[in-house]
Amino acid sequence: MNYNENQQKEIAQYATEHDNNYKATGEKYGISYQQVAAWVRKYKKATGKTTTASPTKTQSQEKKATTQATTLDVLNRKDPVLEAQLSEVKKRLGLD
Protein backbone atom coordinates (compact mmCIF):
# COMPACT_ATOMS: atom_id res chain seq x y z
CA MET A 1 0.00 0.00 0.00
CA ASN A 2 1.28 3.47 -0.82
CA TYR A 3 1.19 6.12 1.86
CA ASN A 4 1.08 9.82 1.06
CA GLU A 5 3.29 12.40 2.80
CA ASN A 6 0.67 13.23 5.44
CA GLN A 7 0.19 9.58 6.35
CA GLN A 8 3.94 9.04 6.56
CA LYS A 9 4.27 12.08 8.82
CA GLU A 10 1.40 10.85 11.02
CA ILE A 11 2.99 7.40 11.35
CA ALA A 12 6.40 8.95 12.14
CA GLN A 13 4.84 11.19 14.79
CA TYR A 14 3.01 8.22 16.31
CA ALA A 15 6.27 6.26 16.55
CA THR A 16 8.09 9.24 18.07
CA GLU A 17 5.35 9.83 20.63
CA HIS A 18 5.47 6.16 21.64
CA ASP A 19 9.16 6.02 22.64
CA ASN A 20 10.37 5.26 19.10
CA ASN A 21 8.74 1.83 19.23
CA TYR A 22 9.05 1.10 15.51
CA LYS A 23 7.98 -2.52 15.84
CA ALA A 24 4.65 -1.74 17.52
CA THR A 25 4.04 1.16 15.15
CA GLY A 26 4.73 -1.05 12.15
CA GLU A 27 2.37 -3.71 13.45
CA LYS A 28 -0.36 -1.13 14.08
CA TYR A 29 -0.16 0.30 10.56
CA GLY A 30 0.76 -2.94 8.76
CA ILE A 31 4.22 -1.83 7.62
CA SER A 32 7.76 -2.96 8.34
CA TYR A 33 10.02 -1.79 11.13
CA GLN A 34 12.47 -0.50 8.52
CA GLN A 35 9.82 1.57 6.79
CA VAL A 36 8.76 3.19 10.06
CA ALA A 37 12.40 3.93 10.92
CA ALA A 38 12.96 5.49 7.50
CA TRP A 39 9.91 7.74 7.83
CA VAL A 40 10.92 8.78 11.35
CA ARG A 41 14.41 9.72 10.10
CA LYS A 42 12.85 11.63 7.19
CA TYR A 43 10.39 13.41 9.50
CA LYS A 44 13.07 14.33 12.04
CA LYS A 45 15.41 15.58 9.34
CA ALA A 46 12.64 17.75 7.87
CA THR A 47 11.59 19.17 11.25
CA GLY A 48 15.07 19.41 12.73
CA LYS A 49 14.14 17.25 15.73
CA THR A 50 16.70 14.92 17.21
CA THR A 51 16.19 11.55 18.80
CA THR A 52 16.38 11.38 22.56
CA ALA A 53 16.98 7.64 22.63
CA SER A 54 17.53 5.02 20.01
CA PRO A 55 14.86 2.32 19.88
CA THR A 56 17.48 -0.40 20.28
CA LYS A 57 18.85 1.19 23.44
CA THR A 58 15.37 1.62 24.91
CA GLN A 59 14.44 -1.98 24.15
CA SER A 60 17.70 -3.33 25.57
CA GLN A 61 17.24 -1.29 28.75
CA GLU A 62 13.71 -2.65 29.16
CA LYS A 63 14.94 -6.19 28.55
CA LYS A 64 17.78 -5.75 31.07
CA ALA A 65 15.39 -4.42 33.72
CA THR A 66 13.00 -7.31 33.09
CA THR A 67 15.85 -9.83 33.29
CA GLN A 68 17.07 -8.34 36.57
CA ALA A 69 13.56 -8.47 38.04
CA THR A 70 13.17 -12.07 36.91
CA THR A 71 16.53 -13.04 38.40
CA LEU A 72 15.59 -11.45 41.73
CA ASP A 73 12.24 -13.23 41.69
CA VAL A 74 13.96 -16.57 41.12
CA LEU A 75 16.51 -15.94 43.85
CA ASN A 76 13.85 -14.89 46.35
CA ARG A 77 11.54 -17.81 45.57
CA LYS A 78 11.52 -20.68 48.07
CA ASP A 79 11.48 -24.21 46.71
CA PRO A 80 8.87 -26.27 48.61
CA VAL A 81 10.73 -29.55 47.94
CA LEU A 82 13.98 -28.17 49.35
CA GLU A 83 12.12 -26.65 52.31
CA ALA A 84 10.59 -30.08 53.09
CA GLN A 85 13.98 -31.78 52.81
CA LEU A 86 15.56 -29.17 55.07
CA SER A 87 12.82 -29.60 57.63
CA GLU A 88 13.31 -33.39 57.58
CA VAL A 89 17.09 -33.07 58.09
CA LYS A 90 16.54 -30.63 60.97
CA LYS A 91 14.16 -33.10 62.64
CA ARG A 92 16.71 -35.93 62.28
CA LEU A 93 19.43 -33.77 63.80
CA GLY A 94 17.13 -32.55 66.57
CA LEU A 95 17.41 -28.91 65.53
CA ASP A 96 13.67 -28.23 65.51
Helices (runs of H) and strands (runs of E) counted in the chain: 5, 0
pLDDT digits (tens, 9 = 90+) for 66-87: 776 677 777 777 888 888 999 9
pLDDT in tens, 18-40: 888 999 999 999 999 999 999 99
CA distances, 70 to each of 32, 61, 64, 67 (Å): 30, 14, 10, 5
Q: Which residues contact 15 (CB under 8 A, 6 or more apart)?
A: 21, 22, 25, 36, 39, 40
- Looking at the chain, the whole-number percentage of residues with pLDDT higher than 90 is 46
Q: What is the DSSP string of 3-28?
A: --HHHHHHHHHHHHHTTT-HHHHHHH
Note the pLDDT of residue 76: 77
Please state the domain extents for the chain: 1-52, 54-96
- What pTM was computed for the model? 0.51
| pLDDT (average), residues 27-54 | 84
